[in-house]
Amino acid sequence: MILRLVAALLLCFPATLPASSQTPALPPAQSVGWRTGAEAAAIEKRVAALLKTMTLEEKVGQLHLSGRGDGFDIGQIKAGRMGGVMNFVVPQEVREVQEAVRQSRLKIPLIIGLDAVHGFSTYFPLPLGQAASWNPGLIEQAAFWTGREARAAGVNWTFAPMVDMSRDPRWGRVLEGAGEDVHLASVVAAARTRGYQRGGVAATVKHFVGYGAGEGGRDYNSTWIPTSQLHDLHLPPFKASFDAGSMTAMAAFNALNGMPATANRAMLTDLLRGRWGFRGFVVSDFGSITELRLHGIAKDDAEAARKALIAGIDMDMMGNVYHRHLADEVKAGRVPMKALDEAVRRVLRVKFHLGLFDRPDVDVAAAPKLMQTEEARRVARQIAREGVILLKNDADTLPIAAGTNTVAVIGAMAVPEDERVWTDPAGLGRRMVQPLPDALREQLPQGTTVTYEPAFTKACGTAFADKDAALKAAAAADLVVAMLGEDCEFMGEGASRTDLGLPGVQQELLEGLVATGKPVVLVLATGRPLVLTWAAKHVAAIVQTFHGGTEGRAAIADVLAGKVNPAGRTPMSFPRSVGQIPVYYDHLPTGRPQQVRQRYESIYMDEANEPLFPFGFGLSYSRFTYAGARVDRPRVGLDGSVTISVEVTNAGSRDGDEVVQLYVRQPVASRSRPVRELKDFQRITLKAGETRTVAFRLPVRALGFHDDAGVSRVDPGLFEVFLGGSSLAERATSFEVTRN
């Protein structure tokens, strides 16, 4: 009871400075994952024994994943012809399908899937916003609570993490990933995988592979990725997730180098099972097996089923294609029984390792009590705070100065309509989201007046409700806080854009607000980096968030009011214009680098090369300095490692967090290497005036890259080291890798 009270107090009176990067220990829960040793061997035996007792129809049934809604046939469960269900989130309904299983001959439990991505009942920031915290421990916690709440409602499988690499903010799904950098993305992929599975749901690493590189940033579009880049950039986050124990994977919608991912045997079987030894199962994406016809590699659904199964797709999500055709394909000898058995074996194996055969049904009465607990809310508040990125802060506009009489909050985004981007069919995600004006009233000193005008009819700002009232409120205030951005309509799956400005009439409003002459703080909640070139010139401060979830607006108020010192960092570069895309920090050098910006250099005639805000960037209310960078040895062999250290000082007058980033560059190698690459980072908390030595151990194998055959190599030679608080970090030291 006392603990609950303390927790409640902590929630009401958040700690003052800084956005501490401490991560509370995970509470015990029904964690799931691969069993090992004798237990794993016993499972293989049980799977083999069960497989022997199954009819052809029951086997095909295990590969059929169907969803709640129109056309759902509970009779298929009773007949043993459905292996999994999705989008069942109401505990009572989960109980009904579990009861149906008991009426089937073999009573094989269902795997119950959902896109529990950044929350189930408690919402955390969008994955891109979580990555902006650069705090893997906290990201793991967010995934843990997501998994735990989902599990309490009866879900045992989440369709996350999405680890698709993308350098293209036109693509609406960048919000589900961790940004443009392969190291950060791999660390985040592992953290999320661990978190979900500790929370009690099997992870699904997706979308295998190359989905984030769709041509033109258009969703579902074809991708062309050279083998070396596939291995250097796109595959490592998947590998990191498997190494962290991901039990399932989802194939992508797109064609990779001309072969649709759903029928790509080289990826699904040769690489995934052969080279990587993955033992779990692969699910198709939503209806993607039948889409093989539209890709032009199958004349009908029967052929599509055959090609997908033989390539290595074990479970058919929502396509009904395996359900309708696979048994006939096996009977006709077009699909070998051995291939079918192998797919069923993988599904059953996961179900056993998940413990589904030994677990009781969902506890309908207990479920609601496990939603939005104080602990989950506290993690949500912390990660939302840590993900806030301060992009601009002219003349210390922020934090809001004591003595500011009136703050005008403008924009319908400031008051939540809905925090959901992904499914929350139980509708629990709507509760208790604090509007920004209320949070500011709570945080700012007594006597500060906070006014609010929505300006738009809806958060997405496509039409004005009352523009004049908004401008009047701004003119009457000392400081304007405009909360603008994208909402669900403009981001996420199927929401590719060619114009990355503020949607609708929001830019018009912003210009009106600036014209009042009052200092404008632009607070953004978006699903991607927008083009902020105009705003960066004209507003006084910019605060970037990627929809902070249940505690998002409260966390913004913490930062605006100065209770929290911001330290979030951009996980993606912010372009100056759409024409620069793709713009990312770890590009290759050219033979005609930008030097004096003249013709025949690799430049644009009408725009700078650099992004508006680079990768890894974010301001603080403090200032951090770096000194004394050193490597523990000047030379190291191919099997060795170096320790790189640097002294970081908080030279400001407030406590705060710094994200210390380590980049390397190999100036001369057997092939052209990026101008720099992130190799490690640490988010640390420093008191005002404090100095700390931060050390990184860097194994030489982390300096490697892949050749055109996908073989990894490290070239001996000089490596330059850059240390600092963003990808603009200065060159600090160097070391040499020797052959031995």
Residues that bind ligand BGC (CB under 6 A): 115, 159, 206, 285-286, 493
- Which stretch of DSSP H or E encloses residue 353? helix 337-353
Least spacing, CB of residue 428 vs ligand BGC, in Å: 18
Neighbours of 366 (CB within 10 A): 10
Catalytic residue flag (residue 70): no
Q: How far apart are CA 117 and CA 421, in angstroms?
A: 9
Q: How far apart are CA 210 and CA 163, in angstroms?
A: 10
DSSP string, 178-222: --S-HHHHHHHHHHHHHHHHHHT-B-EEEEETTGGG-GGG-TT--
Least spacing, CB of residue 159 vs ligand BGC, in Å: 3
Neighbours of 428 (CB within 10 A): 22
Q: At what angle do helices 301-311 and 321-331 cross, to 10 degrees?
A: 80
Q: How far apart are CA 740 and CA 638, in angstroms?
A: 6
CB-wise, 168 or 329, nearer to ligand BGC? 168
Listed residue (90, 110, 99) closest to 315, CA to CA:
110
Catalytic residue among 115, 181, 232, 285: 285
Least spacing, CB of residue 384 vs ligand BGC, in Å: 23
Neighbours of 89 (CB within 10 A): 25
Neighbours of 141 (CB within 10 A): 29
Least spacing, CB of residue 286 vs ligand BGC, in Å: 4
Please list the alpha-helical segments (H only) found in 121-181: 127-131, 136-152
Q: How far apart are CA 710 and CA 695, in angstroms?
A: 32
Least spacing, CB of residue 317 vs ligand BGC, in Å: 7
Least spacing, CB of residue 131 vs ligand BGC, in Å: 17
Kind of pairing between the strands at 248-251 and 281-283: parallel
Distances (CA, A) of 116 to 88, 261, 617: 11, 23, 29
Least spacing, CB of residue 264 vs ligand BGC, in Å: 16
Q: Could you tell me which residues come within 8 angstroms of residue 263 by beta carbon, excluding any fewer than 6 positions away?
A: 292, 295, 297, 298, 304, 307, 308, 311, 313
Contact indicator for 67, 86 with CB cutoff of 8 Å: yes
Number of residue whose CB is nearest ligand BGC:
159
CB-wise, 206 or 231, nearer to ligand BGC? 206
CB-wise, 283 or 543, nearer to ligand BGC? 283
Contact indicator for 678, 714 with CB cutoff of 8 Å: no
Least spacing, CB of residue 69 vs ligand BGC, in Å: 12
CB-wise, 211 or 719, nearer to ligand BGC? 211
CB-wise, 285 or 419, nearer to ligand BGC? 285
CB-wise, 151 or 683, nearer to ligand BGC? 151
Say which residue the tokens 């151990």 belong to: 697
CB-wise, 148 or 206, nearer to ligand BGC? 206
CB-wise, 262 or 573, nearer to ligand BGC? 262
Catalytic residue numbers read 285
